[in-house]
Amino acid sequence: MRSTSRRRLLAPIVLTVAVVGGPVHLASVAAGASAPPQASADTAVTVDIRDNVFAPKRVEIVSGTTIRWVNHGRSRHNIVPNRGSDFGSSIPPDERYEFTFSTPGKYAYYCSLHGAPGVGQHGTVVVVDSSAAHDDRSASSTRRRGGTLRVPDDFPTIQQAVDATKPGALVLVAPGVYHEAITVGPKNHDIVIRGEDRNETIVDGEFSDEPGHENGFKVFADGVAIENITARNFRTNGFFWTGVRGYRGSYLNAIRNGDYGIFAFDSVNGQFDHSYAAGSPDAGFYIGQCFPCNAVIADVEAEWNGIGYSGTNSGGNLVIARSSFHDNRVGIVPNSGTGEALYPQHGTTIVGNEVYSNNNIATGAIEIAEIALGNGILVAGGNENEVVRNLVYDHDIAGIGVVALPETIVDPDNPDAIDFDAKRNTVRNNVVSDSDRFDLLLVSTITSATEDGQNCFADNTFETSLPSDLEALVPCTGERAPGFENDLVTFNELLGGAKPPSADYRTAPLPDLPKLANMPRAKTARPRPATKGATIVVRLATVKLPYPTR
């Protein structure tokens, strides 16, 4: 479908943000909301772009109306029509793109970096008084198969094998370097994609900016497990599940990808285990926008990323356990933000992890990773989290911090900004040492013993805290002190000021990739799709404090 139009990419929108701490999201429309139909031509309707969403997702207009897409996210996004329409553009952060729709019809589109036709980050413009155009997703001409589909013996590419699967199938990939990007659409649900050798079965993006090649694996299907594979050198993510029920990533390596390493968004009933992530400017591991998430991250390692783990607006039966987060700029950061739905973040358990030396200025880094440099575990504007029996050491600022996130200060021009406090968080039985400033840190607007929502610290091994004598002020049991005062001057000094800028993730030095254990019986094990969600059960009472490795 074609239409007469005027098309342009406008000059950058200049935004000034005074950052106090926590992630910065610039958006004003709730994800998934629907805009009212426009009744007159020659008007402009704005669609906000945030990381992973168009808002509103569906817009109804009359012919002659202009749609203005404004990128409020921190990542580049693009507009790609499902069919052969003549609108579309790549839109960097803080820029916008306009298109005037002159021909009635239904115009479906998506961001090829974070979506596909009809799934993930996608949207629709309906120009009234016309029959809707059909989505051009057509059935594959390849007969769909169960059993084992071997690459390259049966199919020359991983994508061709995936397209041919039916539920229960195993795509088994031989060692080699595969220069492709794989999309798993909804028709190919409940399958397993597995490499024969974790360290030798490699999907390499070669930093390509060709549309559709930004992610190593992009999954829109329920119940998909990916096992025993390396994804490296992709412009956005190594492994990406979005909008699914049931997912699992086991024995994966994500190396030098331009956004996240191993990433689940708007997805529930999942698991990341026995995996390794290095070289991402954002987070090595990320679970965002879910509640209850019903998810587990266990026995993983994240190093040389901007952030080891980040989780925006995620929680509810979400456990991060028995893992190592070290030599990132910042270690573990559960956080709230209006840039994604389901805020505030609440209900994550962080137990039995070793978190150390997250002071690394040589990594790629998004803005918040630059700001939060030098912290081990930092709960930013999150509620009802448990931080228990972690070994945390060698940080330039704080070992474990619980801090409020005032978006009205961070983003004063955002009409939907919210002040996220940090409430009812529990920090106990951790061993925290060798922090240059404070082993334990608390900044909260809940400062009086009579206020509901007080955080609690107890039975930790530590030497320094802000405020001083923190466990006596906010104990987990017994009588509380009358109250305390936040030392905001010191706090702002810690997180404010100039910080070392991001390195180019494509060329930043990385440590030699360790020889990582393969999935047991990778060539012969029966496929186990992620239909039932997490299979690792973390019994919190049995998770022990880890021994130091450095």
pLDDT digits (tens, 9 = 90+) for 393-431: 999 999 999 999 887 766 677 777 888 999 999 999 999
Tokens standing for 97?
Answer: 């793109």
Question: Rounded distance, CA 381 to CA 369, Å?
Answer: 16
User: Is 432 inside any structural domain?
Assistant: no
Q: Which of 340, 487, 403 is nearest to 19 (CA)?
A: 403
Looking at the chain, the whole-number percentage of residues with pLDDT higher than 70 is: 89
How many folded domains does the chain comprise? 1
Q: Is residue 43 part of a domain?
A: yes
Instruction: Determine, yes or no, domain membership for 92.
Output: yes
* Strand 119-127 versus strand 105-116 pairing type: antiparallel
SS3 annotation, 190-225:
CCEEEECCCCCEEEECCCCCCCCCCCCEEECCCCEE
Which of 100-104, 318-322, 392-396 has the weakest average pLDDT?
100-104
Report H helices in 314-436: 367-371, 407-410
Q: Residue 409's pLDDT is what? A: 67
Q: Does residue 392 sit within a domain?
A: no
> Is 89 within a domain?
yes
Give the span between the Cα atoms of 293 and 250, in whole angstroms.
18
Share of the chain above pLDDT 90, in %: 65
The pLDDT assigned to 37 comes to 43
Angle at 521 between CA 274 and CA 199, to 5 degrees: 55
In angstroms, the CA 321 to CA 539 distance is 10
Give the Cα separation of 416 and 50 in Å (integer). Answer: 14
120 Cβ contact list (under 8 Å, min separation 6): 52, 110, 111, 114, 218, 220, 242, 243
Q: Count how many Cα atoms sit within 13 Å of the Cα of residue 53 in the half-sphere of its side chain.
A: 25
- From residue 466, alpha-carbon distances to 204, 230, 494, 520 in Å are 45, 42, 11, 46
What SS3 state is found at 240? strand
Mean pLDDT over the full length of the chain: 87
Q: CA-CA distance, 263 to 281, in Å (whole number)?
A: 13
- Chain centre distance of CA 82: 25
pLDDT of res. 19: 26
Please list, in sequence order, all residues whose beta carbon lies within 8 angstroms of the beta carbon of residue 156, skipping any fewer than 6 positions away.
Answer: none
Q: What is the mean pLDDT of residues 335-355?
A: 95
User: What is the pLDDT at residue 325?
Assistant: 98
Distances (CA, A) of 285 to 143, 244, 358: 35, 17, 15
Q: Which residue has the higher pLDDT, 271 or 535?
A: 271
Average pLDDT over residues 33-60: 69
Is the Cβ–Cβ distance between 369 and 281 less than 8 Å? Answer: yes
Mean pLDDT of 296-313: 98
Q: Which residue, among 251, 183, 192, 189, has the nearest Cα to 217 in the 3D structure?
A: 183
Give one DSSP letter per residue of 444-477, joined into a string: -S--BTTSTT--EEES-B-S-EESTTHHHHS-SS
CATH number reported for the structural domain that contains residue 59 in this entry = 2.60.40.420
28 — pLDDT class (breaks 50, 70, 90): very low
The model's pLDDT over 227-265, given as tens digits with 9 standing for 90+, comes to 999 999 999 999 999 999 999 999 999 999 999 999 999
Confidence of residue 43 (pLDDT cuts 50, 70, 90): low
Structure tokens at 29: 């429309």
Asked whether residue 90 is assigned to any structural domain, the reply reads: yes
Total residues found in the chain within this entry:
550
User: Could you give the strand order of the β-sheet that contains 105-116, starting from the edge strand earlier in sequence?
Assistant: 58-61, 119-127, 105-116, 77-81, 89-91
Q: What is the pLDDT of residue 1?
A: 34
pLDDT band at 13 (very low <50, low <70, confident <90, very high): very low
pLDDT over 60 (residue 283): yes
Residue 24 lies in a domain: yes
User: How far is Cα 224 from Cα 193, in angstroms, rounded to an integer?
Assistant: 8
d(CA 24, CA 539): 35
Number of H helices, E strands in the chain: 5, 45
Residue whose C-alpha is closest to residue 348's, from 278, 297, 272, 275: 297
How does residue 21 score in pLDDT terms, banded at 50, 70 and 90?
very low
Closest CA to 74 of 315, 324, 340: 340
Q: 149 versus 33: which is more confidently predicted?
A: 149
Tell me the per-residue pLDDT of 176-234, one tens digit each, with 9 for 90 and over: 999 999 999 999 999 999 999 999 999 999 999 998 899 999 999 999 999 999 999 99
Residue 68 lies in a domain: yes
Residue 394, burial from CB neighbour count under 10 angstroms (0-12, 13-18, 19+): buried
Instruction: Give the structural domain span for 74.
Output: 7-127
Report pLDDT for 20: 28
Q: Determine the average pLDDT of the residues in 111-132.
A: 80
